[in-house]
Amino acid sequence: MPRPMDTSSPADPITAADVDAAAARLRDVVVRTPLEHNERLSELAGAEVWLKREDLQPVRSYKLRGAYNFIASLGAGERAQGVVCASAGNHAQGVAYTCRRLGVECRIYLPRTTPRQKREQIAALGGTVTTIVVEGHTYDDAQEAATEQARRQGSVLVPPFDHPLVVAGQGTVAREVVEQLGRVPDVLVVPVGGGGLAAGAGVAMSDAGPGARARVVGVEPAGAASMRAALDAGEPVTLGAIDSFVDGAAVRRVGAYTFGLVRDLVDEVMTVPEGAVCTTMLQLYQRDGIIAEPAGALAVTALSSGLAVPAGATVVCIVSGGNNDVSRYGEVVERSLVHEGLKHYFLVEFPQEPGALRGFLDNVLGAGDDITLFEYVKKNNREIGPALVGIELAVQADLEPLLARMDASGLHIERLSAGSPAFRFLV
């Protein structure tokens, strides 16, 4: 009987045969998503880069695979009790789609940080069998509420990652990669949140035969690096605070079951900055026509963030999801510009006299510098007035000349550091 597991290591580890069984169960449910060669990324990496487009699933992410494999394995009595789940959005869509298809009542708990687009999509996919409850600020808060609801009602809790059936379902992504490529890739790059996809990929690649196994690399956001923390500690640990921007991978604590599999079967887990993820999202959209959500861009971001790839190697990156709310693109652009060193903020103390601003524009700003923010309130009882100024540069190399002109201006100018509370308020 499928139930969430709580073990420090995989007492009953799944095998490639379990992934094969999941693939058979999913054959008429999921889309065999394209495996696309990408010339731009191949040139960037000095390798042959392929993208596995899980953003093209009916629920626009790979999460349907694990959710369906789990729920379809329930007995009739368990289905009659209904199911409960917690999710940052994508797992919920997989559960909602599955429950509508199988006629199972479900109650879905979402953290308040879940984008509106995902909430609306869950409701549309789940129809009348799905009830949505918004609870807490993080996935872990929603998970706690869902677990309590399942206990009270006797419903089955559908885990987003920490269960053999879910892991086996997610592992079918890697299985398809091998089938479509016609061989095992040299490197398989996967995003990491709770560890279900990484664990499943590790299992799927573990049975490729001597000398044929891919190097499996997991990628998680620097602001929510719970798997890296677990590997460093030798066991799952709970992070005190996380950056929830990469909402599909913002997990405070990885699964106990998935941790053991990732530890044993995944070759490397690396972190990438959220700003780099934003840059990748914009490049995928503007250059390749791919709408990736933050978590969906994690694997591709690794290519420009220090992932060591042998020249000419075959590299497959899983684009895990495309559930991105268009209203977030302003923040995506802002974070990308800051990460690229093209956007900077300053507190400038202007003399409260005519021509002060004109002097700043003429003597401090360079030809390619653009003021994107200017907040100033005149103080009648003071000789100076502070202004918050945001400046976007044409190229990163323009920063040092700008700072030199500021120093020579005679104005008191303070540059806001990326770690300051004021900066976090702006970005």
pLDDT (tens digit per residue) in 220-258: 999 999 999 999 999 999 999 899 899 889 889 999 999
Q: Which of 52, 63, 118, 343 is catalytic?
A: 63
94 occurs within a structural domain? yes
Asked whether the beta carbons of 125 and 173 are under 8 A apart, the reply is no
Q: Are residues 91 and 212 in the same domain?
A: no
Q: Are residues 286 and 305 in the same domain?
A: yes
Task: Please indicate, yes or no, if residue 224 is contained in any of the structural domains.
Answer: yes
Residue 195 lies in a domain: yes
Q: Of the candidates 290, 314, 334, which is a domain's last residue?
A: 334
* Residue 117: burial class (beta carbons within 10 Å; 0-12, 13-18, 19+): middle
Whether 193 and 83 map to the same domain: the answer is no
Rounded to 10 degrees, the C-alpha dihedral 112/116/121/127 comes to 60
CA gap 401, 408 in Å, rounded? 11
Among candidate residues 39, 37, 106, 110, the one with its CA nearest the CA of residue 74? 106
Mean pLDDT rounded to a whole number for the chain: 91
One DSSP character per residue, 97-157 reads HHHHHHT--EEEEE-TTS-HHHHHHHHHHHGGGEEEEE-SSSHHHHHHHHHHHHHHHTPEE
Residue 130: inside a domain, yes or no? yes
Same domain? 105 vs 244: no
Task: Clarify whether residues 173 and 303 are in a common domain.
Answer: yes
Are 127 and 232 in the same domain? Answer: no
Structural domains of the chain, count: 3
Burial of 29 per CB tally in 10 Å (0-12, 13-18, 19+): middle
- Tell me, yes or no, whether 272 and 142 share the same domain: no
The range of the structural domain enclosing residue 68 comes to 64-157
Residue 6 counted as domain residue: no
For residues 135 and 213, membership in a common domain is answered with: no
SS3 232: helix
Q: Is residue 9 part of a domain?
A: no
The amino acid sitting at 397 is: A
- Domain closes at, from 267, 299, 334: 334
Whether 107 and 138 map to the same domain: the answer is yes
CB contact burial 145-159 (16+ within 10 A = b; e otherwise): bbbebbeeeebbbbb
Quickly tell me which residue has 């976090």 as its tokens: 424
Task: Pick the closest to residue 232 from 271, 206, 204, 179 (CA basis).
Answer: 271
The first and second tokens of residue 245, run together, are 């921007």
pLDDT of residue 241: 86
State yes or no: is 320 an active-site residue.
yes
Q: In terms of domains, do 58 and 79 share one?
A: no
Q: Which of 61, 206, 305, 320 is catalytic?
A: 320
In whole angstroms, what is the distance from residue 365 CA to residue 377 CA?
Answer: 21
Q: How far is 289 from 282, CA to CA, in rounded Å?
A: 10
Looking at the structure, tell me whether residues 187 and 45 fall in a common domain. Answer: yes
pLDDT at residue number 117: 79
99 and 232 together in one domain: no
Hunting for tokens 């990163």 — which residue is that?
Answer: 396
Q: Does residue 284 lie in a domain region? A: yes
Please name which of 391, 343, 397 lies closest in space to residue 364, comparing C-alpha atoms.
391
- Residue 6: its pLDDT value, please? 39
The 10 Å Cβ neighbour count of residue 379 is: 11
Q: Is residue 10 assigned to a domain?
A: no
End-to-end CA distance of the chain: 46
What pLDDT sits at residue 380?
A: 58
Residue 381: its pLDDT value, please?
Answer: 58
Low pLDDT (below 50) residues in the chain: 1-10
63 belongs to the catalytic site: yes
Domain edge (last residue) among 91, 122, 157: 157
- Give the domain CATH number at 404: 3.30.70.260
Q: Tokens in use for 265?
A: 């079967």
CATH number of the CATH domain containing 188: 3.40.50.1100
* pLDDT on residue 9: 41
DSSP 20-34: HHHHHHHTTTS----
In 3D, which of 297, 326, 323 has the Cα closest to residue 125? 323
